[in-house]
Amino acid sequence: MTAPLAYDVTSLRNAIKGAGTDEKVLVEILASRTAQQVKDIVAAYREEYDDSLEEDIAGDTSGHFKRLLVILLQASRQQGVQQGNIESDAQALFKAGEQKFGTDEQQFITILGNRSAEHLRKVFDAYMKLSGYEIEESIQRETSGSLRDLLLAVVKCARSVPAYFAETLYYSMKGAGTDDQTLIRVMVTRSEVDMLDIRSEFRKISPKSLHAMIMGDTGGDYRKALLLLCGGDDAPETCEIQYRPKVWTHLLIQCVFFIFMTIYIVDSH
């Protein structure tokens, strides 16, 4: 089991097996992973704990939030773009929210949970032309709580997964205090996937580079490990956009993973 996969599995287990449920972890992981990654997570979870991830999550959540999580766990999104359904999907979302007294949450769940990212991006454009609103604005108005958070995460990931994680990292360090669990989880699980893209997106929303923000918000060996995962500084004055060779990246991830897992397990107890 690779380090990012193991971290996902452990994070999900801790999110649903402790006191209460950490919906934030469920939202982040299940909204952002590819279909194959979700399948790998489900299989690794069963192998590690001899339990069904779907049953565990279904038993720890409820309502429309649970329904969308279960759909995402099925990892069976349609492939490609269904040209004939773009307008009808946009109209269905409009009728389910802005044009309706109350909200038909199930319609949002069905469309956002089952269509491909490519298809959804075209639906979002059609929805904007039809309603005059971005789909995110309507979700903010028409839904609430954990369901709203999950729907927004699905939309953001359909638009751009790196942009979603850049925003997640930014808010994990913005303001007083640091959300260390989120910071570690994202850095470990994305460092071999799309860190360069995340760093680029981070520069669009922050006056500081990701490297600089980690430098200013953390310290000691913890900071050193995070900076190694980050891989470089995109600040204009450094123009440092390089990245490590993949083989060294993989070895580094394995080492840092075990360090962070030790911290994570100790903190969870």
**For residue 252, what pLDDT is reported?**
58
- 14: exposed, middle or buried (Cβ count in 10 Å: 0-12, 13-18, 19+): middle
Distance CA 231, CA 131 (A): 42
φ, ψ for residue 218, nearest 5 deg: -135, 175
- Angle at CA of residue 69, ends 66 and 71, nearest 5°: 110
DSSP secondary structure of 132-200: SS-HHHHHHHH--HHHHHHHHHHHHHHH-HHHHHHHHHHHHHSSSS--HHHHHHHHHHHTTTTHHHHHH
Q: Closest Cα partner for 229 from 264, 204, 198, 263?
A: 198
Please check whether residue 196 is in contact with residue 243, taking contact to mean a CB–CB distance below 8 angstroms.
yes
Distance CA 238, CA 219 (A): 21
Residue whose pair of structure tokens reads 């952002």 in the numeric block: 32
52: three-class secondary structure by DSSP? coil
Query: Radius of gyration of the chain from Cα atoms?
Result: 19
Query: Could you state, in order of their start, the residue ranges of all structural domains in the chain?
Result: 1-76, 83-159, 160-269
The CATH label, of 3.40.50.150, 3.30.70.3460, 3.40.50.720, 1.10.220.10, for the domain at 160-269 is: 1.10.220.10
| 8-state DSSP, 78 | P
Please state, in angstroms and as integers, the Cα–Cα distance from residue 119 to each residue in 30, 72, 125, following that order.
19, 16, 10
**For residue 239, what pLDDT is reported?**
47
Q: Tell me the pLDDT of the chain (269 aa) as tens digits.
A: 677 899 999 999 999 987 789 999 999 999 999 999 999 999 999 999 999 999 999 999 999 999 999 999 999 999 999 999 999 999 999 999 988 888 999 999 999 999 999 999 999 999 999 999 999 999 999 999 999 999 999 999 999 999 999 999 999 999 888 999 999 999 999 988 999 999 999 999 999 999 999 999 999 989 999 999 998 887 765 544 455 445 445 555 555 655 555 555 445 55
**For residue 241, what pLDDT is reported?**
45
**For residue 247, what pLDDT is reported?**
45
The CATH label, of 1.20.1630.10, 1.10.3720.10, 1.10.220.10, 3.40.640.10, for the domain at 83-159 is: 1.10.220.10
Can you identify the CATH homologous superfamily of domain 1-76? Annexin (1.10.220.10)
**Residue 31 CA neighbour count, 13 Å, CB half:** 31
**For residue 104, what pLDDT is reported?**
94
Which helix (H) or strand (E) is 29 found in, with range? helix 23-32
**For residue 99, what pLDDT is reported?**
85
